[in-house]
Amino acid sequence: MTERQAGRLVAISGIDGSGKTTLCETVRRELARRTPVRVLAPMKLPCHLRTLALKLHFPDAGDERRREQFIADVISWTLRHNGEEVIGPALWSGQTVLADRWVADHVASQRLFGVTVDPSREPLAGLGAPDMHYLVTVPVELALRRIEQRDEARIAHEQDWEFLQLFQDELQAELPGARKLEGHLPVAQLAAEVLEDLGIVQ
Ligand SMILES: Nc1ncnc2c1ncn2[C@@H]1O[C@H](COP(=O)(O)OP(=O)(O)O)[C@@H](O)[C@H]1O
Ligand SMILES: [Mg+2]
């Protein structure tokens, strides 16, 4: 993924409940009328592969540091895998790729679990930078309300509030150059901004 590609990679970062997936889908719908586009969550593996990875080598209980490190490694290699096997070919074939989270989301969240992920070293070094990178910021109270509405069984606790606040702070530190989008605004307005940056006037 280091050489020039025909398509463009647009990364959307932000805490859970900030509206990333909704934004990706809204941009995708609008873009799809004019150009080939795909949405991908590059930190995610299909469930069966994730289960397989964790079953293969999950360190024994009691060694929490190694467990956290192992999970971080699985996600790092997932990003690398998706970068090489899915995103690279899509870009080469001229598709616009909307990435629902990117390396910064991984680095920032792992820091909260006490794991240092270095994006300049393998396996992440080969990924390259997105052509456009957005950070969706949102008041944490709003993110938690949305999460509760979206996931019916989920009840937000005090530690969720703290986690999301720290996560958002870490993301801001990790992405000083990203374009900021205010996630409390209507999604159509946020999508219009991204589309305009992509040269699409609605
Ligand atoms: N801009 C927005 N305005 C109002 N509600 C939104 C907005 N973006 C997302 N939502 C709602 O908030 C919830 C969480 O959004 P989602 O896109 O799943 O967030 P994320 O992918 O960042 O976790 C969803 O139920 C969605 O319908
Ligand atoms: Mg999402």
The predicted pLDDT at position 80 comes to 96
In angstroms, the CA 126 to CA 120 distance is 8
pTM of the model: 0.94
Looking at residue 28, which CATH number applies to its domain?
Answer: 3.40.50.300
User: What does the pLDDT look like over 130-170, one tens digit per residue?
Assistant: 999 999 999 999 999 999 999 888 888 889 999 999 999 99
Least distant ligand from the CA of 12: 1
In angstroms, the CA 163 to CA 111 distance is 11
Residue 198 domain flag: no
Atom number in ligand 1 closest to CA 22: 17
Structural domain boundaries, residue 57: 8-191
Residue 1 domain flag: no
Residue 187 domain flag: yes
Residue 135 domain flag: yes
Residue 3 domain flag: no
Ligand 1 pocket test target in 23, 26, 146 with most atoms within 8 Å of CB: 146
- State the total domains in the chain: 1
The predicted pLDDT at position 3 comes to 52
Residue 126 domain flag: yes
Ligand 1 pocket test target in 13, 15, 22, 137 with most atoms within 8 Å of CB: 22
Least distant ligand from the CA of 189: 1
Where the chain has pLDDT below 70, the residues are: 1-5
**Ligand 1 pocket at CB < 6 A:** 14, 16-22, 146, 149-150, 183, 186-187
